[in-house]
Each structure stands twice: as C-alpha cells, then as structure tokens.
Structure 1
Amino acid sequence: MSTTLEDRVILLLREQAGDYGTDGREALDSAATPAIAGGYGFWERLAERTGVLSRRWRKVYAREQKVTSDMLQALARLFPLYAFWLATGITDAVNGHVAPSTAQTFPERLHADSTESTAYFRASIELADRLFREGRVNVEDEGERLYAAERTRPLAHWHDSPLADAAYRLAGTQEYANLQDLWRRRETERLARRRRIAGEAHGGEGARDEAAKAAMAASRTPVLGVDARTAHQDDWDLFYVPVGRKAGGRRR
C-alpha cells in the first residue's frame, strides 16, 4: 500500500483550504475545480457543499477519525476529477482523472485538469440522480434502492433493472442530448490532450529539446521557488523522465 484513503482526503482538503506550503490562504480554482475559499469559514463552507458536518471534516483532517463512506462519496461527487485518485491512489490523467496539486503522484505525474472531462462527469452524475428521481425510487430505503439499481440474469441473458423504462425516457430528453454533446467535446479535447502529453503539440522534437536544455541549465542554477529535481520536466509530461532521457525512454 502507498497512501491511505485518509492521507488522500487530507491532501485534497489542504488544496481546497489553501494550506499547501505558501503564505496565502486562497484555495486553488479552475474551470474544472470548484474552489471552496480557504481561510475563515472554510470548514463551514465545506459542510454546506457536502452535507457533512464541519466538525467531522475537522476530525478527519486532524486524524481523529476515519473517513466514512458518506464523506468519500461527497468529495467524489464534488470533485469527480479526483474520484479515481481518491479511491485508488493513482491517476489516469489522459482521461481527466487527476490528483490535487498538493499530492505527489506516481507512476504518472501530470496534474493538469481537463475542463471538458469534468463537465462530462458532473453532467453524468446529475443524470444518474435524475434517473432515480424520475423512477420514483425511495432512496432512503436500502432494499428498494438496491433493487432499482441491480441487473439480473434469470436465464441466458442479462435483464436491466426496473429503472430501464425511466432510462429510455431520459434518453429522449434535451439534457441527455447535451450529455452526448459533452462527450463528443470531451473526446475532442482528450485527443488534443493526448497529443500534447505525447509531445506532438510542443512544436516538434527540436523545440522540446531546446526547452529541456534551458530547463537543465536552470536546474544547475537554482531559482527561488523552483524545485531543481524536477526543473527538467515539461509541465505536460505524463510520466517521470529521468535526467538525460527524453520522454519515452530516448536519450535527451
């Protein structure tokens, strides 16, 4: 095991609280990450956004209690771009599954989020919730909720759950069409993202080599705020690149 679930939740909360080794207290924000401004009232705002009492978040942050399933679910739904990392401890950055900037990741190292992927994740979550609402499922009843979610195989073929009819009704709505449009936009962005990660959008190998040489020179003369150990890496390197090698294992 590498990190624990508690470790990862604390790292996410540190990012959102702005507690990441600087003098500032402003939370990180981007089109993909809804910031919960750090500083005074942070825990109360977090409680409002998640439906989990602020004192419980404080206890997890101080390692006075374990993360519970409702807390994990709340964070995964609020930050779907971090959900895969929260559950597994690894990232899948090409597909929009990244970690907070406060987290050291491995074997991938890329932290750049994907606005299109996160928009698709959020729209999917909303439609999944709507399916249960329009299927008139009492989500407070454990038995009814599970019955509504379960596919069965009585004979040779799988049968969809009792929500299949509601799913087809939703499939005819504008919101569902919008989701498919989001998926197409996500795939277009993902292709561009993959090309950028692969170095195809850096202006060619020559430009990448020149940038690498400049970074290496900078690493020999440390600059305030720069980590000399990683100065040779490009911001869009998906993997760790040992000094003296190009991405993909080729020599620099």
Structure 2
Amino acid sequence: MESHVRLANGDTKNYSEDLRETELAVIDTTGEDLDQVTAIPESVLRHSRVIDHWSLPFRIVVRSFYQNSRLKMLSKAGEGARPIANQGPGAMIAVQLAPRAIAPEERDVPSAAIEILPKDGGSLGTWLVSDALGEPQTFACGGRTWIITLRPSRYYKPYSVTLQKFTHEKYAGTEIPKNFSSKVTLIDPERSVNRDVLIYMNHPLRYRGETFYQAGFQPDDSATILQVVHNPSFIAPYVACVIVAAGLLVQFGFHLVGFSRQRRNAIA
C-alpha cells in the first residue's frame, strides 16, 4: 500500500494520505482542544444511499456521486448548466462527469451531492463535496458546529514526523535536480523515540514496517513530498536468502562427507 506525506518546513504530521482514495470527513469543531472526526470511506459514498452514524445528530443522504468530475463556475459552464447543490459554494458550481483517469500520473477527482437531514426533522440543504474544493464547509446542527470536506483518505500512525529542513540542489545553470533531501524528526512516544533522520534518494527511513522515500517537492521548494510504502512482508526476501543459504550449506556438507568417505575407502 502506498501513500504520501506533504510537509512544509516546521510541519508535523502523524498520518499519510492516499492519492487514489478519498473520504468524507465530518468534523465536530465545537470542542476547545480536540476535534471529533468521523471519516466515511469513498466506497460507502459510492454504494450507500443513506448514511446514519451513531455519533452524528444528522443523516447524510447521497443524492449523486461522481467517481471523476470537472467543476466549473456556472457563469463559465455554458447555457443550461445547473448546480447539484443549494448550499455553500456548490450552489454556484456546475459538476460534469469526466472519464476515469488511466495514466499513472493522473488521478480521479471525486465529487458528491449530499443532503444533511437532522435526526429531529427538517433539512439543512444539499451540499457539494469534492476533492477539487479547497476550503471545508461549515454548518450548525444539534447545538454544535460541523465541517464537511471530501479529502484524500488518511492513514494515522502511532508516531509523527516533523520536517526540519528541505534541501534542493540543482546542476549549475539548469533546473535539473542534483540532490534533494529532507531532514525530519521522528517522534514515537510509545517507544521513547525522538531522533533526527536525513531522507534522500536511495536512503529512505524505515520504521514500524513502513518505508519513507524522498519522492518529490513543491515547485517553489516550499514543501517536501515523501512516499510511504507499507510492506509488512519486507523481511521475506531476507528470510528466503537465509533458507537458500542454509540449504546450500547442508547440500555441500552431504557432498563433502560422501567425498571424504570415498577418499578414505580408496586409500584403504
């Protein structure tokens, strides 16, 4: 499984993001210290009509879902274009169905129209949620303040990574990268780990069954992009090599013993 972590200088994150899957994040921001997040996977949005979660004072009705979409302002969408939402910025946006992304460097832009129905009755309208919308949307329900946003799926970890410094060197007179690296601080309270690590090409960070590779950076060098590969069976090739080596040693031992016996018999 692959995911990515985008870090600007000084940023700390304890999660990575999947660039192929999204989730609908419903966030209760009423608390002073902590936000309560309910994450609904994209697969649920695709296949469910009504989402009724015990932690939410409202139901979510999926009116439409687009696996890949293009968003345009109504003023530029052409005659006859209609919004699929009546609340928030989505009321001024037209959504067009787009073909699924095929090329490895392309990705789908999922969008959905969802209606918020308080469990005590009524409706808070229909909202557009999309991976292409930059800002989360806010509404009030049950005496609490909520945010909804469709974002890349997050994989949380029991440790965090902080970017201390990103370095990007280029060949003189060109824009061709010569070297780029990320100095990060790895913090794991469970294992009392707090250490600095330099991640650069062919020198990844390996920790808790995951490998962090230096994958890229923002064009203006404002942030680094680390690729996270989860491979719980990474040790299997090493075990296989040990087994093969042991088998060769045993086979060599049998041949050596047989050869020694033949030689002793010949001498006798």
Fold equivalence (TM over 0.5): no
Structure holding more strand per residue: 2
Normalised TM-score (structure 2): 0.23
User: Larger C-alpha radius of gyration, 1 or 2?
Assistant: 2
Greater relative contact order structure (CA < 8 Å, 6+ sep): 2
Structure holding more helix per residue: 1
